[in-house]
């Protein structure tokens, strides 16, 4: 299985390789053009740009969360526009330590493209290394992407209550319902555990080692998660960071409930808390 994380030195050796597609996923919640503006100012040479709300989200198909998963036909078109096709290794990065880049990582795997990694440490690590950057918009050569959905990776709302292990990636205060800055209802899905995505990271912004990640999962969950574990968050973005961390820990790849709390809590409003 290809490595799911790539270091700055490893990526530096791949820049300019026509078999590698780089994708910049920088995005700031509440400032939807900030990530694109930062990309236009400077990015890793050859990287295309993917916007969380217009590229990595789409009209509702499998869910009605705040960042809906695009339909398969839309995903094929998006990935082709990003220069991705069979035989191409993809490296995604952002400036939020992999939180948004992990969304692209998961979407590609969902569509059957396993050769994708996230830059460990992200844009900050690349910039700190003093490596080359490029300005302006890059438009990759259009490719044909023929992937098919791997539906076992995705959980939809009607199956959530049957999940044996639900893991919420949001900050603890949001999980506990003490604060809710975005969604209309505070709290979490009944029975869920809380593993905040930020705790996957060491002080330098890189992922913890595989043994440390495994220890963290076991300490919080009381066991190691398996492939049946289901991760969610507020809108199906930061949960992908936990999915990535579970795989980086050498554990089976879990599932994603993409609709997440933003979908679940709205159903609660419509149907009542007994849903």
pLDDT grade for 272, boundaries at 50, 70 and 90 = low
Let me know if 25 is a catalytic residue: no
Q: Is the pLDDT of residue 181 over 60?
A: yes
Task: Out of 163, 206, 233, 258, pick the active-site residue.
Answer: 233
Mean pLDDT of 44-72: 95
For the chain, give every residue range classified as CATH 3.40.250.10.
Answer: 5-149, 152-271
Between 275 and 183, name the one with better pLDDT. 183
Between 176 and 266, name the one with better pLDDT. 176
> How far is the C-alpha of 221 from the C-alpha of 144, rounded, in Å?
41
Task: Provide the β-strand partners of residue 158.
Answer: none
Q: What is the pLDDT of residues 101-155, one digit of tens each?
A: 999 999 999 999 999 999 999 999 999 999 999 999 999 999 999 999 999 999 9
* CATH class given for the domain over 5-149: alpha beta
Mean pLDDT of 245-260: 98
CATH tag, 152-271? 3.40.250.10
């Amino acid at each position: 299985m290809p490595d799911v994380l790539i270091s700055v030195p490893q990526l530096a050796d791949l820049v300019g390789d026509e078999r590698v597609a780089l994708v910049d996923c920088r995005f700031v919640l509440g400032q939807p053009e900030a990530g694109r503006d930062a990309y236009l100012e400077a990015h890793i040479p050859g990287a295309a740009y993917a916007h969380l709300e217009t590229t990595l989200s789409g009209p509702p198909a499998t869910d009605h969360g705040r960042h809906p998963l695009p339909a398969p036909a839309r995903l094929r078109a998006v990935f082709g526009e990003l220069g991705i096709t069979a035989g191409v290794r993809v490296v995604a990065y952002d400036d939020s330590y992999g939180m948004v880049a992990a969304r692209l990582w998961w979407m590609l795997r969902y569509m059957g493209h396993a050769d994708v990694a996230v830059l460990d440490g992200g844009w900050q690590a690349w910039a700190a290394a003093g490596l080359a950057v490029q300005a302006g918009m890059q438009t990759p050569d259009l490719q044909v992407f023929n992937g098919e959905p791997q539906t076992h990776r995705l959980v939809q709302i009607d199956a959530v209550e049957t999940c044996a292990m639900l893991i919420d990636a949001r900050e603890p205060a949001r999980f506990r319902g003490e604060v809710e800055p975005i969604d209309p209802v505070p709290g979490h899905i009944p029975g869920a555990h809380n593993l905040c995505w930020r705790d996957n990271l060491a002080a330098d912004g890189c992922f913890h080692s595989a043994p440390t990640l495994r220890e963290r999962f076991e300490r919080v969950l009381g066991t190691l998660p398996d492939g049946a574990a289901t991760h969610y968050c507020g809108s199906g973005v930061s949960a992908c960071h936990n999915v990535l961390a579970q795989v980086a820990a050498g554990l089976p790849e879990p599932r994603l409930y993409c609709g997440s709390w933003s979908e679940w809590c709205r159903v609660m409003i419509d149907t009542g808390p007994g849903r």
